[in-house]
Structure 1
Amino acid sequence: MIEEFEVYFLLFDRAGYGESDAHPSRTVKTDTYDIEELADKLQIGPKFHVLGMSLGAYPVYGCLKYIPHRLSGATLVAPLLNFWWSRMPQTLLSAALKKLPIQNQWTFRVAHYLPWLLYWWLTQKWFSPLSPNPRETMTERDIELADKDTKNSYIKESALRQGEYVSTHRDIIAAFENWEFDPTELLNPFSDGNEGSVHMWCALEDKQIWREALIYICDKLPWIKLHQVPEAGHLMIHEKQHFEDIIKTACS
């Protein structure tokens, strides 16, 4: 497939992960300009396609907002919901938040309202900051796919070599802080006739991302093509067939 579509995949460590320097004040905007600078340093060309999944989708929203002129396309797969976006109906976002286990709800609230407390919150031993039951947030197939990843423990160890505080914790804060924009305010980067497209993939069995919220975003932004995948969970991008469908759609 890579040869057929002549795809070049560039995967990078966001700030604090792997060998990328930590960035204490990282935001959606700083991550976006990190992507642009990386593309320029590696001379991959004036335009590129960005793809993000789950929590890692927030820089894709950032690219659509801050550097739309650099994009040849964008793909969001089971993208996160910031439950404090300002222009989306709060009733919708509150309902999406309440779909999550209560421990996860409180962790995201701490990240938003008390980010300076998040490290303590996630490392204290009095109670679990996230649901200990994987079946509350993942389908059986998600669990199988996640178990495959845990067999390659060196990957996680390499990613978190600087410590979870400068990687995972700051990632969560950047995702759930007050953004400078709301996704429903985004403008079509290809409205001037330039070739390109934006795709959003929604797994119908996803227990983490509420489908109705994604549908609302795509209704407000009809230039985003919504793909609803039946019998797929949050980790659908790790399924060979779904991944190939995502890449083929992006390349079409």
Structure 2
Amino acid sequence: MIARGFTTYRWMIDFEYEGMVETAVVLLLASLLRLVYQRLIRPPPPRICGAPGGPPVTAPRVKLRGGRHLAYLETGVPRAAAAHKIIFVHGFDSCRHDVLPASQDLLRRLGACVVSYDRPGYSESDPDPCQTERSSALDVQDLADQLGLGDRFHVVGFSRGEQVVWSCLVHIAHRLAGAALVPPVSNFWWRGFPGGGVSRRAYAAQLPQDRWAVSVARHAPWLVYWWNTQRWFPPSSLIARDRRVYSPPDLDVISKLAAAAGPRRRPHKAEVKQQRVFEALHRDMIVAFGEWDCSPLELSNPPPGVAVHLWHGADDRVVTPAMSRHIARQLPWIRYHGVPDAGHLFMLADGMADRIVKTLVLGD
């Protein structure tokens, strides 16, 4: 009887001891995972422009709904005298200083004012932790209203910035006078692409590191910061500035721009990510390849009175033109402009931006 009681007591002690060990192991693993998340996976907080310890505010800014600010830059004729108002949406790893490269002479002759703005988290515009494709369009609308651009205005998006233009066509088409997408970065997971077809082939045509980067942005956005800052695997080619992503026409454009401007071609380069890389580049990727409320391919009717132009270089290796051609076939009210012997950066070549602006404003 005593022996049996002792055995039972010993079993209870062993059971409690094993439970304590398991609890300790779980707590240790949880602590390690928390440490890994805090040190490696979770991005550091942004350095807000104008906040204590943050970069200074040097640009004119407008205040949006919810209190955020957008910084902007104007080129061309003054807003008050402009016959045509154009909002230019910059691309990936850029800012308001990377303006629509149309000649000032053309803008004066057309009576056009161009407003280029920093997208959220870039340069001097406040980050938007709740950013979606819809909020991007509402930012454009708020900017136009704050600057008094009128009931209708034109929008031009370059590269990743064209996704904001797509969102404008979905959410605020009634405010647009015209739209140009040059050359558009499409979301491989937009509804409306045929299963196993053009979007899958376009995805497969990317460099392997870019397939991984956009997949992480799509399926594990909480890992985007770690993926693009770790040293074990190559990050996005654009973040890594890997020139293999560019075609020979692109490299020619880059070479000519560098030769013309010298080593200070982009003196604002450091300003682009001054509020930290996550709020600029990484969140940009998450929004670009995440879930959209409405796919542009679901637009059934052309926006009333809005001429939409889509430009794409035939030798674009950053974004294959196949997806753009498919969109233009499915939405026949979009005028497709294929540019032969051109890559992703063709808008920066001599005369191309003038051609795009004239087509947009005059319908040439």
TM-score, L = length of structure 2? 0.65
Of residues 160, 177, 183, the one that matches 2:273 is: 160
> For residues 161-200 of structure 1, what are the structure 2 equivalents within 5 Å?
161-186=274-299, 187-190=301-304, 194=305, 196-200=306-310
Q: Deviations over 1:144-174 (max 9, x none)?
A: 4346467434322112110111011111111
Equivalent position of 2:195 in the other structure: 90
Partners of 1:40 and 1:243 in 2: CA distance: 26
The alignment status of 1:81 with 2:189, answered yes or no, reads no
> For residues 134-149 of structure 1, what are the structure 2 equivalents within 5 Å?
134-146=242-254, 148=257
CA-based RMSD: 1.6
Tell me if the contact between 1:18 and 1:158 (Cα under 8 Å) persists in the aligned partners.
yes
C-alpha distance 167-71 of structure 1, shift in aligned 2 (>3 A):
same
Q: Deviations over 1:36-78 (max 9, x none)?
A: 0011001111111011011111110010000010000000011
1:133 deviation in Å?
Answer: 8.0
Q: Which amino acid aligns with 1:130?
A: S
1:182 deviation in Å?
Answer: 1.5
Number of equivalenced pairs: 248
1:210 deviation in Å?
Answer: 1.9
C-alpha distance 171-230 of structure 1, shift in aligned 2 (>3 A):
same
Q: Which amino acid aligns with 1:123?
A: T
Q: Structure 1, unaligned stretches of length 5 or more?
A: none
Q: Deviations over 1:16-54 (max 9, x none)?
A: 011110011211111110110011001111111011011
Equivalent position of 1:115 in the other structure: 221
> For residues 211-226 of structure 1, what are the structure 2 equivalents within 5 Å?
211-226=321-336
Equivalent position of 1:99 in the other structure: 205
Q: Deviations over 1:209-238 (max 9, x none)?
A: 222211111111111000000011100111
Partners of 1:112 and 1:50 in 2: CA distance: 27
Q: Which amino acid aligns with 2:319?
A: I
Q: Secondary structure at the match of 2:323?
A: helix
Q: Which amino acid aligns with 1:228?
A: G
Tell me if the contact between 1:112 and 1:176 (Cα under 8 Å) persists in the aligned partners.
yes
Q: Which amino acid aligns with 1:145?
A: V
The alignment status of 1:243 with 2:353, answered yes or no, reads yes
TM-score, L = length of structure 1? 0.93
Of residues 315, 321, 335, the one that matches 1:205 is: 315
Of residues 123, 130, 136, the one that matches 1:18 is: 123
Q: Which amino acid aligns with 1:247?
A: V
1:175 deviation in Å?
Answer: 0.5
Tell me if the contact between 2:191 and 2:298 (Cα under 8 Å) persists in the aligned partners.
no
Tell me if the contact between 1:57 and 1:80 (Cα under 8 Å) persists in the aligned partners.
yes
Q: Secondary structure at the match of 1:9?
A: strand
Q: Secondary structure at the match of 1:123?
A: coil
1:143 deviation in Å?
Answer: 2.6
1:3 deviation in Å?
Answer: 1.3
C-alpha distance 151-128 of structure 1, shift in aligned 2 (>3 A):
farther
C-alpha distance 223-161 of structure 1, shift in aligned 2 (>3 A):
same
Which stretch shows the higher mean deviation, 119-128 or 148-157?
148-157
Larger radius of gyration: 2
1:135 deviation in Å?
Answer: 4.7
1:184 deviation in Å?
Answer: 1.4
Tell me if the contact between 1:118 and 1:169 (Cα under 8 Å) persists in the aligned partners.
yes
Equivalent position of 1:230 in the other structure: 340
Partners of 1:32 and 1:121 in 2: CA distance: 28
Q: Secondary structure at the match of 1:10?
A: strand
1:136 deviation in Å?
Answer: 3.1
Which stretch shows the higher mean deviation, 179-188 or 98-107?
179-188
Partners of 2:266 and 2:161 in 1: CA distance: 20
> For residues 25-64 of structure 1, what are the structure 2 equivalents within 5 Å?
25-64=130-169
Q: Secondary structure at the match of 1:228?
A: strand
Q: Deviations over 1:186-219 (max 9, x none)?
A: 23112xxx3x310000100111222221111111
